[in-house]
Amino acid sequence: MNNNNRSADPSSASPDAPDGGPTPDLQPASESVLVVDLIGDADGGGDRSDGDTRDEARDSPADRPSNPPTSGDVVSSGETDDAPASDDAVAGETDDTPGPDDAVDATHAPEPEDTPPPDDTVDAASGESAQTRRFRFSVPGLILGFITTLWIVQFGLDVYRRHDRFGSFNYDMGIYDQIAWLISHGKTFITVRGLDFFGHHANVGFVFTAPLYWLGLGVGTLNLIQVVSIGLGAVALYLVGRQWLPNGWWALVIPAAYLLHPSTGWVAWELFHPEVMALTPILFAWWLAIKRRWGWYTFALIWAVSWKEDVAIAVAVLGVIMMLRGRFRAGLWTTIAAGAYFVIVSKIISANVPGEVAFYANFYGSLGDSPGAVLKTAVTDPNAVLLRLNKSNAVGYARDVSVAFGLLPAVALVAGLSSLGTTLLLPWRRRPPRPTRYPS
């Protein structure tokens, strides 16, 4: 009998297909970015997706169908099992020609060996395909959407009513309201502060609010936009939690604590401040770095620093953390770019537009008017630094902030120092290259 009989044999079908049938031709799971992390799966999530597990299982040589020659076949060196067998030496007939007893079903015909198998299979535990799981939102994901929407609606109404009923007496909001109006009309001098736009802060993000002022929406809309931006930070935290925690329920704890924390609500209630707009894109940038989506990662960080130049300091710290966690090249470029942007804005643009140093250069008093000067004072006159910290009640402030967040800042500091020591003391090891998935 010819070797083509194996195509009709149920045992030769894909081990992942139901009822011995062919593997369904569905959309690869790797194409999904945001949706996959918001949904549930059979085992509850984690850092490794189902698609990665199935890929490794398919790469195993044991799962690939073997085609041993039959007793009547003579296979010489360099020939494949598709060559003519010795007992089939008929002119013009090869082993690929079906015999009279070979009832080959076209729907069960084997795929060519150089074609990778479909990326979507049926999970044996749940009986669902990956595409079904991709579009089946989990219960934690639905709860996240509900509480996030509820939070945005509630605080949106709060800030709207506060401003509508003459309760918005925030001085900073008056500054930024005028900045947004000036930018929308092509002007830059801030009469409230007596400074030029770039002499105050590099709030480039206000360029995107100009159409709102053209429509006459005003500062009330800025307050609502800020509330929406803060609320979406819960989604970013949930996506990060899905990468490290066992399932969606554990990941839901983080965004729930974020939305329920008094500090989050206070920031929204304090009305519009541009640096608050940078919070959510930085959180999304961390998730995008985990997923290695470097294009969107870059976009998120550019959006963050566009709202205020000193946000670049937080971005530079994010780059350092990435270097310590194994994303050395991306982290290094992040730190360099963020540091360069901050220096250019604070030392060149903001310092030269008003004709003198940046207005916030005198905030540190006698300690110095720049980070370098403050560092020099800390080395040459540490007592002056200690007196300044004691006068500002720095220890009490650090204690209050740490207790309000369940001592997590202190734990993070210890963990960061431990990670830094491990990185510096242990030798660098190059990660072994990933094997080719479908070798030719």
Give pLDDT, residue 38.
55
CA-nearest of 152, 231, 221 to 181 is: 221
Q: How far apart are CA 270 and CA 178, in angstroms?
A: 17
pLDDT of amino acid 290? 93
Q: How confident is the model at residue 413 (pLDDT cuts 50, 70, 90)?
A: confident
Give the count of alpha carbons within 13 A of 63, CB side only: 12
CB 204 within 8 A of CB 306: yes
Write out the H or E segment, with its range, that includes residue 161. helix 139-164
Beta strands 189-190 and 195-196 are: antiparallel
Cα separation, 46 vs 363, in Å, equals 45
Confidence of residue 264 (pLDDT cuts 50, 70, 90): very high
Give the highest mean pLDDT range of 40-49, 226-235, 262-271.
226-235
Residues 31-58: pLDDT tens digits? 444 544 554 443 444 444 443 444 444 4
The confidence score (pLDDT) of residue 425 equals 63
Return the pLDDT at 133.
Answer: 53
> What tokens were used for 348?
């060149």
Q: What percent of the chain has pLDDT over 90?
A: 34
Residue 156 to residue 46: CA distance in whole angstroms: 33
CA 166 to chain centre: 39
Q: Looking at residue 110, what DSSP letter applies?
A: P
Cβ-defined contacts of 221-226 (< 8 Å, 24+)? 222/176, 222/177, 222/180, 222/272, 223/159, 223/160, 223/163, 223/168, 223/173, 223/271, 223/272, 224/156, 224/159, 224/160, 225/272, 225/277, 226/159, 226/268, 226/271, 226/272, 226/273, 226/276, 226/277
pLDDT for 368: 79
Q: Give the residue among 160, 130, 155 at the shortest CA–CA distance from 259.
A: 155
Q: What's the whole-number mean pLDDT along residues 167-196? A: 87
What was the pLDDT predicted at 123? 55
- Across the chain, what does the average pLDDT equal? 73
For residues 172 and 11, the model is more confident at 172
pTM for the structure as a whole: 0.63
Q: Taking the CA atoms of the chain, what radius of gyration do you get in angstroms?
A: 31
pLDDT tens digits for range 137-157:
589 999 999 999 999 999 999
Q: Decide: helix, strand or coil at residue 189.
A: strand
Predicted local confidence at residue 164, as pLDDT: 87
Among 256, 283, 278, smallest CA distance to 267 is for 278
Q: What is the pLDDT of residues 182-193, one digit of tens each?
A: 999 999 888 888
Tens-place pLDDT, residues 77-122: 444 444 444 444 444 444 444 454 444 444 444 444 444 444 445 5
